């Protein structure tokens, strides 16, 4: 039994304990239309079904994901704002002199969704028919072969410098203002190769304009277009791995019960046929786990890319 006032307070507390009871905002720190946007919007469908609340995707591009990430850091730690982070989150501390947030204190890891390969591509007219052809030529001609990227400090740039350090080569970096012009010059033969994202080159490989020599993840891609393409690691540079990734963060201080609930819901969505079918073109290898698993993964990414960036004297454009 309880008094009317006590029951009212109890009911009010229970009402506030229910999560979620309003829409959830998911920040995508890129413009609409890219791989991160696809991940957020597709998982948003299954999250809506499971949580019975709308998922609002908020695109906040700028500053190599810093604008959107900072918006998350300054949000209330209540589970109603998330960000979809990528490799940029792990490398920005090593590329930027100062960040507007604390990398170590302002974020609560929720879940890693998956890892997507870059693809080592050459022109359809390139003399390099296999990865082994390219590797042999690169070792025999130090400083004479080039690789394109969409800009300094991008995933393609980092993948190329990691390759140089692990393969003992000296590929010359040629930065561009975006993936489009970089790939145009690779197709035209002005630059020898590019470590490009799977989403950027899928249609060009399928259309016969580019040849895929290898993928940069430790395991082969499951997407039909790339399933027969070997990994760099298995083809002559053991242990090489330079995949892009997607994962969710909440603001630091978000209740662990809320983080765990979001983890379970996103994990279920990532295993759904809807999600798997839509991310197939990205070559995404789905890899989920606990919030702690994701936190450790990001720390390991920060450490290994910090070494690559320092050794190669990489700076952001």
Burial of 133 (0-12, 13-18, 19+ CB in 10 A): middle
| For residues 286-301, average pLDDT | 96
Mean pLDDT, rounded, of the chain = 91
The predicted-structure confidence for 121-154, as pLDDT tens digits, reads as follows 999 999 999 999 999 999 999 999 999 998 888 8
Residue 139 tokens, joined: 């070792």
Look-up of token digits 């950027």: 200
- Tokens read off for 97: 């002199």
Pick the more confident residue, 163 or 35: 163
Mean pLDDT of 156-170: 95
Check residue 281 and give its pLDDT: 64
The span from the CA of 51 to the CA of 21, in Å, is 9
CB 172 within 8 A of CB 147: yes
Task: Identify the H or E element spanning 165.
Answer: helix 155-167
pLDDT at 15 over 60: no
In the structure, what pLDDT confidence band is assigned to residue 317 with cuts at 50, 70 and 90? low
Q: Band the pLDDT of 244: cuts 50, 70, 90.
A: confident
Assigned token pair, 50 = 């499971």
pLDDT at 13 over 50: no
Q: What percent of the chain has pLDDT over 70?
A: 93
Q: Give the whole-angstrom CA distance, residue 267 versus residue 151.
A: 33
**pLDDT over threshold 50, residue 172:** yes
pLDDT computed for residue 144 by the predictor: 97
- CA 98 vs. chain centroid, Å, equals 22
Is 119:205 a contact under the CB 8 Å cutoff?
A: yes
Rg, the chain, Cα only = 22
Does the pLDDT at position 17 exceed 80? Answer: no
Name the E strands within 150-243: 172-175, 193-197, 210-215
Q: Residue 289 — very low, low, confident or very high, per pLDDT cuts 50/70/90?
A: very high
- Burial of 299 (C-beta count, 10 Å sphere; 0-12/13-18/19+): middle
pLDDT score at 14: 43
pLDDT surpassing 90 at residue 12 = no
Tell whether the torsion through CA atoms of 229, 193, 311 and 297 is positive or negative: negative
Q: Are 160 and 171 in contact (CB under 8 A)?
A: yes
pLDDT at 7 > cutoff 60? no
Q: Which residue has the higher pLDDT, 14 or 63?
A: 63
In the structure, what pLDDT confidence band is assigned to residue 211 with cuts at 50, 70 and 90?
very high
pLDDT at residue 55, as a whole number: 98
Mean pLDDT of 5-18: 50
Q: For a pLDDT cut of 90, what percent of the chain falls above it?
A: 74
Which pair of tokens denotes residue 217?
Answer: 């993840």
């Amino acid at each position: 039994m309880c008094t009317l006032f006590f029951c009212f307070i109890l009911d009010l507390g229970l009402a506030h304990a229910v999560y979620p009871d309003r829409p959830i905002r998911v920040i995508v720190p890129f413009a609409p239309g890219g791989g991160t946007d696809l991940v957020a919007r597709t998982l948003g469908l299954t999250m809506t079904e499971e949580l019975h609340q709308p998922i609002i995707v908020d695109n906040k591009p700028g500053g190599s994901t810093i604008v959107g990430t900072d918006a998350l850091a300054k949000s209330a730690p209540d589970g109603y704002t998330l960000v979809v982070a990528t490799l940029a989150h792990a490398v920005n501390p090593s590329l930027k002199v100062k960040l507007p947030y604390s990398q170590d204190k302002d974020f609560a890891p929720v879940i890693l969704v998956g890892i997507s390969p870059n693809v080592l591509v050459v022109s359809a007219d390139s003399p390099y028919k296999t990865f082994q052809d390219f590797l042999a030529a690169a070792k025999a001609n130090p400083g004479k072969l080039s690789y394109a990227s969409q800009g300094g400090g991008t995933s393609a740039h980092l993948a190329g410098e990691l390759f140089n350090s692990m393969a003992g080569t000296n590929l010359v970096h040629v930065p561009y203002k975006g993936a489009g012009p970089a790939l145009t010059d690779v197709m035209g033969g002005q630059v020898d190769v590019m470590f490009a994202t799977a989403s950027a080159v899928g249609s060009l490989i399928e259309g016969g304009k580019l040849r895929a020599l290898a993928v940069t993840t430790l395991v082969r891609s499951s997407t039909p277009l790339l399933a027969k393409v070997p990994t760099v690691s298995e083809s002559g540079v053991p242990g090489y791995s330079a995949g892009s990734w997607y994962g969710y963060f909440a603001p630091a201080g978000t209740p662990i019960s809320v983080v765990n609930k979001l983890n379970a819901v996103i994990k279920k969505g990532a295993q759904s046929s809807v999600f798997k079918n839509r991310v197939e073109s990205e070559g995404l290898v789905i890899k989920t786990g606990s919030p702690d698993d994701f936190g450790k993964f990001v720390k390991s990414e920060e450490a290994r890319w910090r070494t690559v960036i320092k050794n190669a004297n990489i700076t952001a454009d």
